[in-house]
Each structure stands twice: as C-alpha cells, then as structure tokens.
Amino acid sequence: MRLRTPAAVVAFVLSMAASGRAQTKTVAERLGYPPDSKLLIIHADDLAVAHSVDAASFDALNKNAVTSASVMVPCPWLNEVAAYAKEHPNADLGLHLTLTSEWKIYRWGPVEAKDKVSSLLDPAGYLWPETGPAAQNIKPEEAEREIRAQIERAIAAGIHPTHLDSHMGVLFAKPELFAVLIKVAHEYHLPFLAPRFPGDPNKLIPLLSEKDVLLDSGVMANPSVSAGAWKEFYGNAIKDLKPGFSEMIVHLGHDDAELQAVTLDHPDFGSAWRQRDYNVVTSPEFKKVLEESHIVLVKWRDLQKLLK
C-alpha cells in the first residue's frame, strides 16, 4: 500500500482501536499467544508489477524475511506470481486491490471491461495515477465490480488469497469505498487491512464484524527517511513496537534496469528504494533486532483462520 495523502508523510504509524467493537480477547489471545505479545506481519507489497519485484519478494518469502505479500492483479507479471503460488501453496499471498496506475511510462488498466468501470479511467484510458483523483471520480459500485473481477482473476490463476488490502490506499480514501472493501472481504471470508478511518467512523462500525481484526499499529518508510537512515528507521520501528497486532509494509525489488525503467523519474518507492527495503529485511541485523525485541511473526493466513 502506498498512501499519497498528507497523512502518509509520517511513518505510516496507524492508531487503529476497535472502538464500538467490544471483544473479550486480544488478537494475540485469539491466536493462542499471551495477551502482551508483540505480533507483527512483515508484508511485501506490489507483487506482479515487475519481475524484479517478484524475484526479490519471492526470495524474501522463501527466507522468511517477510511473512506475507500481496499481488497487483491488473499487472503483467501475474502469471509469474501464479506459478510461484502453485509451487508454494503455503505462501501467504493476499491481493493488493489496484485502482490506480501511478508510473510515468508504464501504465495498466482495469481487469473488468472498461465500459463497465468507466469512472476508474483517467483521460488516457488507464487507471487514475493518484489517490486523490481516483477517490474523487470512482463510483463505489464500479470499484466493487473491479475488485470482484480482480479477486476472481486471481483465483482462476491459482492464487488463493489470504487477505485483501488497497494499493495506494484508494479504498481507505472515503467511507463509501472502505464500505465496499468491507462488504467484499466479508463475502469472500477474508481478513483485510483495516486502518482507523479519518473523521467520524460511526457509519462504518455497523459494517464491521466481531471477527474482523484491526491493526493496533503499522509501519512504512516514507520519503522523509534518508537513504543513509534506512536501517536505523526500521530498527527503531521494531524496538518501538508495543504489545498488540502490527504490520510493517515493505516494497521489495532489485535496483536493475527493468525496475529503473518501471519507476522512471520517481525516486519515492522507486528502484533504489526497493533495493534498500530488500537489503534491510533480509539482513542478519534485522533478524537480530526482531529476536531481541521479542517479536512474534505472524501471517495473514493465521488471521484468516479466525474467520472460520
């Protein structure tokens, strides 16, 4: 997920309390851990956007350096992810529901027929490049039509999603879109990334199930983190985690010619950025700080079991 709103310029520290959704047990207790456990999903975004991203993410998954990842179904490397999913049936792969296409040259459109989701399209006929225009223009019923098409295409390709989240946070951008995410996730019996919604959430609380899991906190690097402070940022984020359920979102890739072309003129979340993320999460130092901080690594698949 990449949020391109003013709120995202901070370290994506989400404070997500389950207001109005009283539960007698914490997520940790529901999963069989002590109530004061520090549960963490280390999550890789954007699979299928490029071979470089896939290769780095698969390697991190195989090394247990990340515990989950999510897939951009409209992107051209979907078949590579599907092949990996078939060879690694226990891999924790969700869907990075994609309603934007942000790169300068490399663009994609919807999975659904364009005439059925015309509000998702920018003047060039691709998905909107930014979160703001997307949220402003997309009709909720067409967003629902598209994300259902993305889910069905993934399943048809052999990917059995463990959760749903939102590329660039479009589905968190206004209540009507977040309501669509909740509705579809419930119908497919999938957990979903659920931040506290800005403003008055009362209209959304009735849509949430007692089984829904809300994050207590989240971490994602942002453009204010300098390249030289990358390891320090992630190390401090781990050390600062409090008991509860958290997710760290990383964007992995190799700084090669392919990814440089994909992310042309876009250093934020670009090729070098993704190489830094990969280098950190696969490093012995990162593993050590996780152990020293007594972090319990979990997967979205574990949360999926709570819905059954």
Task: For residue 302, report the phi and psi dihedrals to the nearest 5 degrees.
Answer: -65, -40
**48 φ/ψ sector (left φ>0, alpha ψ -120 to 50, else beta):** left
What local confidence, expressed as pLDDT, does residue 11 receive? 34
* CB crowding 130-158: b at 16 or more within 10 Å, else e: bbeebbeebebebbbbbbbbbbebbeebe
Per-domain boundaries in the chain? 6-305
Task: For residue 190, report the phi and psi dihedrals to the nearest 5 degrees.
Answer: -120, 140
What three-state secondary structure class fits 244?
strand
**Residue in 200, 198, 195 with CA at minimum distance from that of residue 216:** 195
CB atoms < 10 A from the CB of 70, how many? 30
Judging by DSSP bridges, how do beta strands 217-220 and 164-166 pair with one another?
unpaired
- Per-residue pLDDT averaged across 253-272, rounded? 97
| DSSP string over 147-179 | HHHHHHHHHHTT---S-EEEGGGGGGSSHHHHH
- Per-residue pLDDT averaged across 16-34, rounded? 71
Q: Specify the long-range contacts of residues 21-30, CB closer than 8 Å, at least 24 apart.
A: 21/205, 21/208, 21/210, 21/212, 21/214, 23/210, 26/244, 26/245, 27/213, 27/216, 27/244, 27/245, 27/303, 28/243, 28/244, 28/245, 28/296, 30/306
Q: What is the pLDDT of residues 182-217, one digit of tens each?
A: 999 999 999 999 865 555 555 677 788 888 888 899
pTM given for the model: 0.91
Q: What is the pLDDT of residues 38-48, one digit of tens each?
A: 999 999 999 99
Its CATH architecture, for the domain 6-305, is: Alpha-Beta Barrel (3.20)
Task: For residue 245, report the phi and psi dihedrals to the nearest 5 degrees.
Answer: -110, 120
pLDDT reading at 130 higher than 80: yes
Which DSSP letter does residue 100 get? B
**Residue in 206, 175, 260, 165 with CA at minimum distance from that of residue 19:** 206
Q: Percentage of the chain with pLDDT > 90?
A: 82
CB atoms < 10 A from the CB of 49, how many? 29
Contact 100, 128 (CB under 8 A): yes
Q: What is the pLDDT of residues 132-190, one digit of tens each?
A: 999 999 999 999 999 999 999 999 999 999 999 999 999 999 989 999 999 999 999 99
- Mean pLDDT, the chain, rounded, equals 91
**In which band, very low, low, confident or very high, does the pLDDT at 15 lie, cut at 50, 70 and 90?**
very low
What local confidence, expressed as pLDDT, does residue 202 receive? 56
Token look-up 């696969």 returns 282
- Per-residue pLDDT averaged across 75-82, rounded? 98
Q: How many angstroms separate the CA atoms of 126 and 133, rounded?
A: 13
- Per-residue pLDDT averaged across 100-120, rounded? 98
What local confidence, expressed as pLDDT, does residue 196 receive? 56
- Per-residue pLDDT averaged across 225-230, rounded? 97
